[in-house]
């Protein structure tokens, strides 16, 4: 019988391209943890891509869907929840996470983020802003909220998935 790795939920937060989905996938593949990909669920429910949701309904509509989905996570346990990059910007969302689990912030340098996002076209906030200075500015605006939400912070530059997960497991 597999021993459970954690007996609480893990909320992965952080800027776009910091590795939330990658690490969630690794935890799923390696430890059979259940994963909730917030963006994927929202896109699936709406029947359109994140970019199309932003374009059709606006960002606030998307943010409300995120908040509603987080509230739904209340009844889950022992899952990894890969949040959208903007999810911790609402204070109530952070309270919701803290009530239901442990919050892990993944960070990366703007240059690393740019490399990781440059070929992706479903990030409306970055679509016409794929450069280091835009990424650095938005990251700087958000960092205080990210850090306040985090139980632990893991810097991901130059580390592979296994190293990041080992660090996470050790420190949680
Ligand atoms: C956003 C990040 C995206 C997605 C949406 C908005 C943000 O998620 O939720 O495009 O505000 O940072 P990822 O961090 O998974 O790219």
pLDDT in tens, the chain (172 residues): 456 788 899 999 999 999 999 999 999 999 999 999 999 999 999 999 999 999 999 999 999 999 999 999 988 989 999 999 999 999 999 999 999 999 999 999 999 999 999 999 999 999 999 999 999 999 999 999 999 999 999 999 999 999 999 999 999 9
Separation of CA 170 and ligand 1 centre (Å) = 27
Left if phi > 0, otherwise alpha if psi is -120 to 50, otherwise beta: which for 47? Answer: left
- The pTM is what? 0.97
Strand order in the sheet with 101-107: 34-37, 79-82, 9-13, 101-107, 152-155
Pocket flag, ligand 1, residue 153 (CB < 6 Å): no
Pocket flag, ligand 1, residue 50 (CB < 6 Å): yes
Write down the ipTM of this complex: 0.98
105, 146 in Cβ contact below 8 A? Answer: yes
Which domains are seen in the chain, by residue range? 9-171 (3.40.50.300)
């Amino acid at each position: 019988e597999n021993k459970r790795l954690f007996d609480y939920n893990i909320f992965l937060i952080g800027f776009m391209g910091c590795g939330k989905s990658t690490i969630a996938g690794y935890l799923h593949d390696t430890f059979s943890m259940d994963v909730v990909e917030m963006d994927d669920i929202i896109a699936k429910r709406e029947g359109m891509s994140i970019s199309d949701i932003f374009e059709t309904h606006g960002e606030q509509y998307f943010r409300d869907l995120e908040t509603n989905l987080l509230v739904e996570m209340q009844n889950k346990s022992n899952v990894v929840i890969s949040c959208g990059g903007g999810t911790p910007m609402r204070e109530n969302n952070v309270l919701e996470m803290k009530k239901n689990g442990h919050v892990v912030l993944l960070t990366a340098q703007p240059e690393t983020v740019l490399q990781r996002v440059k070929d992706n076209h479903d990030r409306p906030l970055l679509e016409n802003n794929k450069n280091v200075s835009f990424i650095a500015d938005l990251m700087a605006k958000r960092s205080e909220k990210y850090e306040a939400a985090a139980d632990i912070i893991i810097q991901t530059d130059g580390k592979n998935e296994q190293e990041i997960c080992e660090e996470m497991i050790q420190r949680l």
